[in-house]
Amino acid sequence: MGNLQTATFGGGCFWCVEAVIQRLKGVEKVVSGYAGGAMKNPDYRSVCNGHTGHAEVIQVTFDADIISYEELLVIFMTSHDPTTLNRQGADTGTQYRSIILYHNEEQKAVAEATVAQLNPDFDSPIVTEIKALDKFYAAEDYHQDYYNRNTYAGYCQMVISPKVAKLKKMYAHKLKDSAVQAG
């Protein structure tokens, strides 16, 4: 099982981020959920109304001997637009903000350094929020592994499939063997 660690971040709809990150070598588990806000035990409806303070995020269990936290962050940051405040594509609201929720001071330092390193690569400044994780709430079961279970749904085809294709093009060497062939 190696050197298992946990990372939490969000970049718009959690279905999109989950579909990208779960295809990477070293990623053991991805859970879609909510974090970054104040409301206890939020559900999808309450988060979507934008009044909980929570963002749609994923929590990733990964083997740091196979993929580092920094590598995860670079792939995460290049799989969404970290320069748009509270928005990803047509999804708008604070629940869709770009956010990195660190679990310890080492992750905080790596996140800050990664954002600073990547900032010149974008046309606009990165607005990704970096803050300590307080509590993670798993989303409802029907949100888990969404893309893999609904690959041919309209949203998946229009929004998520291009992100997966970009991942395959940019990071093919980082993909699990099955992810290279699969959607």
Backbone angles phi, psi at 7, to 5 degrees: -130, 150
Burial of 176 (0-12, 13-18, 19+ CB in 10 A): middle
Q: What angle do CA 108, 24, 156 make, to 5 degrees?
A: 100
Burial of 63 (0-12, 13-18, 19+ CB in 10 A): middle
- Residues involved in catalysis: 13
How do 137-138 and 27-35 pair as beta strands?
antiparallel
Q: Dig out the tokens for 137 from the structure.
A: 């709430």
- Residue 60, Cβ neighbours under 10 Å: how many? 25
